A and B are shown apart, each in its own frame.
Chain A
Amino acid sequence: AQSVTQLGSHVSVSEGALVLLRCNYSSSVPPYLFWYVQYPNQGLQLLLKYTTGATLVKGINGFEAEFKKSETSFHLTKPSAHMSDAAEYFCAVTQQGGADGLTFGKGTHLIIQP
């Protein structure tokens, strides 16, 4: 079985500050890991993914995440928050390349303070 835990249902940062959204996973085999973003009244959009190879992955909109096997973590970061980053962020895991779907965390609502 696989699972995802996102620490903090709400995270608030000031515009221009570092964004750090935490994700820990549980998987019995090497996982594929994803971060999705959801803007109000929209579907989920892929930010970035880790499958194999380089553990630091870069995504859209200046986000990046690092896969740390020893910590079973895949935290999402962005050096400087922008107002347009305000959204819901979901971490997800799959064990079979997506063939059995993704297991999502509960989500983290990112609030950007002006």
Chain B
Amino acid sequence: DAGVIQSPRHEVTEMGQEVTLRCKPISGHNSLFWYRQTMMRGLELLIYFNNNVPIDDSGMPEDRFSAKMPNASFSTLKIQPSEPRDSAVYFCASISLAYTGELFFGEGSRLTVL
């Protein structure tokens, strides 16, 4: 089975540009999480969805960040406008709530904002 698929793997953009990160969770998983990883702050939970519904977005740093999950097989994380401090690795992870807690992670999207 395919794992969690993220795209793009690498993104370099200039300050002020819009960035869209994409995630396809594992088929059958009903919860999806977006994490951000930086050297300074480690792994931070940004937002998560259960059955496509956003449950907790308290980790989203600012209004410049938004996330959607229009269906069970696709989610996006958008940053508009982007800033240099948004540079990080963004991970998507999914889980089946029928099982005991293991999150399956994608390979991550490395974002560099110049």
For residue B83, CB closer than 8 A to chain A, the reply is no
Stretch binding the partner chain, chosen from B14-22, B61-69, B97-105: B97-105
Contacts A97-B97, A100-B56, A101-B33 given; indicate if A49 touches B45 (C-beta within 8 A): no
Question: A60 near B: Cβ within 8 Å?
Answer: no
Which residues of chain B come closer than 8 Å to A42, judged between CB atoms?
A: 107-108
Tell which of A44, A100, A103 touches B91, judged by Cβ atoms closer than 8 Å: A44
* Tally of B interface residues using CB under 8 Å: 24
Q: How many A-B residue pairs have CB under 8 A?
A: 62
Q: Please, how many angstroms separate the alpha-carbon atoms of A46 and B55 in the complex?
A: 24
A63 contacts the other chain (Cβ, under 8 Å)? no
B106 at interface, CB cutoff 8 A:
yes
Contact status A43-B97, CB under 8 Å? no
Residues on B lying within 8 angstroms of A by beta carbon are: 4, 31, 33, 42-43, 45, 48, 50, 55-56, 91, 93, 95, 97, 99-103, 105-108, 110
